[in-house]
Structure formats: structure tokens, C-alpha cells
Amino acid sequence: MDAIQKEMLAKIADLHAVPAGAYNFRVNGEGVGRNTTEHIDIVTKTDKPGIDIIIKPGTKNESVHIPVVLSQSGLKESVYNDFFIGEDCDVTIIAGCGIHNSGDGDSEHDGIHTFFVGKNSKVKYVEKHYGEGDGRGARILNPQTIVHIEEGGRLEMDTVQIKGVDSTIRTTKADLKAGANLVIREKIMTHGTQTAKTDFTVDLNGEDCGADVVSRSVAAGESHQEFYSRINGNNRCTGHTECDAILMESGNVVALPALAANHLDASLIHEAAIGKIAGDQIIKLMTLGLSEEEAEQQIISGFLK
């Protein structure tokens, strides 16, 4: 990888060297590095672009890195990655995509990730998206995440769009069996004329399963964001969905959280809050010696932390 690609890798996956454990690096549509372990195998698909990540039952305290970097202007790709997590596992999966576009052609990566989480397994999934480059071509990321969680399983998703992505449609669909849990923490920053759409659908099918979906975002410039979330309580379960957004300049946000209680013992809550930064918060930080711009950045950093 060249210097730009290595820098992108550090921003989306915090990697400054080859990681320990299993990994698969994809750069400009091609695999450039892979490692498997005794408990984690990575297999290239034969019918379409992408890989199968197979984690053996009982695997504990291991990680998988699968970052993607695009630095070729005009490159567009759809990649299908399937994760098969056996029973009684405890693993971390670190993904993410960075696009550096210095040309006139639009660059786009559509990552379709499907998770099959085995019984009583715990998975931490971290995904960062980032765009940069001085070209006129757009940087487009459309991630799709499909989640199936077996009895007693748990998936924690931490997804972040750092900056520089011109257009994104982020779709997540999940279904949970008895005693399963899904926790999603999404953070998005848009500016200029960028657009971002988030669409969550969670089916709480199993008895005593639960979901907690929280999105925090900042819309600056003339950017536009949409947040849609639907939790379907189909059994005795608990569900919570929340959208908090800060507006700056002429940014605008649409938030539509929805609940469907299809069982007498479904306990569901939704929240949404959109507004600008409070003036007294800025004044308080300015009394500590910060400029108005520095105060705003401190508030935003804390909000998206």
C-alpha cells in the first residue's frame, strides 16, 4: 500500500502496522493481505465479490480486521461479507471504509454485511467511514447490515461516519431470538451539501430479547440527514430507539422513530431531539478562554464521543 492508503487505514481502523490475529485488507477492489488463525478462517467467495468469515464455536478474546480503502477515482464496487459466529464466542470485528478521491469520477463502496450470531455468543462490531480528497468526484458509502441473533446472543454495533462522505444510505435489519440482545450506537457528521440517510428495522421475535438503538448526529452547512427507525415487538421484549441531532448553520434533519407492539408484554420506547447548540453552553466555555469556534468544536466532540 502507498502512503495515502496507509493513512486511510489508520483513520478507519486505527491500524499503523499489521494487526495480530485474523485480517483481510481490501484496496481498490483487490485483496492485498490476509491472515487466518486456528479459530478464525477467512474464505473468498466464488459467486460474488466478498468473503466469508468463519469463527469456530468457543472462540474467545480474538479479533478480525476487515478494512476497505478506495483511492482510485471512479471506482464503484459492491462487496458481500458474511460472518458465521459459532456458539459461545466472544470476539471483536473491526471494519470500515475510507475513500480518497482526487479525481472527477464518483467513487462508491457498498458493503453488505450479514451476521449469523450463534447461541450465547457476544460480538463487538466497530465500523468507521471516512472520506477525503480534493477531486470533484463524490465519495459515496452505502453500508447494509443484516443481523440474525440466536438464543442468548448479543451484538454491539459501534458505527461512525467521521467526515468527508458526500452521500450515504445506511440500512440495518435485525431479527432476535429468545434472550438475545442488540445494541447500536451510531454517530454521523455531515457538512456542505452532504446527505445521510439511516434506516433501522429490528424484529424482536424471541421471548425476553431486547434492542437499544441510539443515533447521534451533527448536520452543518447545508447538509441533510434522515433517520428512520422501526422496532417491532413480536413477543415479551424490551426495545428503545433514540435520535439526537444538533443543527448548525443551514443543516436540516428528519427523524421518524417508530414502534410496533405486536404482543401484550412488549415494552417499547422511542425518543427524538433536534436543536441547535445552546448559547449558554458556548458562553460558559468561552469564559474558560476558548474562542466561539473552539467552544462549538468542544461541544460537538463531547456530543459525538
**Total number of residues shown for the chain:** 305
| Structure confidence at residue 205 (pLDDT) | 98
**Distance between CA atoms of 299 and 248, rounded to whole angstroms?**
12
Residue 57 C-alpha cell reads as 464455536
| Structure confidence at residue 16 (pLDDT) | 76
**Distance between CA atoms of 251 and 268, rounded to whole angstroms?**
30
**Distance between CA atoms of 195 and 48, rounded to whole angstroms?**
29
Q: How confident is the model at residue 279 (pLDDT cuts 50, 70, 90)?
A: confident
Question: What mean pLDDT is predicted for residues 199-211?
Answer: 98
**Distance between CA atoms of 269 and 205, rounded to whole angstroms?**
17
Strand duo 144-149 + 122-132: pairing: unpaired
| Structure confidence at residue 101 (pLDDT) | 95
| Structure confidence at residue 195 (pLDDT) | 98
pTM: 0.94
Q: What is the DSSP letter of 217?
A: E
Give the type of residue at 69.
Answer: V
Query: How high is the mean pLDDT of the chain?
Result: 94
Q: What is the DSSP letter of 15?
A: -
Residue where the block lists cell 466469508 = 52
**Distance between CA atoms of 301 and 187, rounded to whole angstroms?**
11
| Structure confidence at residue 115 (pLDDT) | 98
Summarised one tens digit per residue, pLDDT across range 283-304 is 877 777 888 888 888 888 888 8
| Structure confidence at residue 56 (pLDDT) | 98
Q: Are 233 and 266 in contact (CB under 8 A)?
A: yes
Summarised one tens digit per residue, pLDDT across range 103-160 is 999 999 999 999 999 999 999 999 999 999 998 999 999 999 999 999 999 999 999 9
Q: Give the number of domains in the chain.
A: 1
Burial 155-178 (b: 16+ CB within 10 A, else e): bbbebbbbbbbbbbbbbbbbbbbb
CA 290, 296, 297, 300: dihedral to nearest 10 degrees? Answer: 140
Range of the domain at 77: 3-304
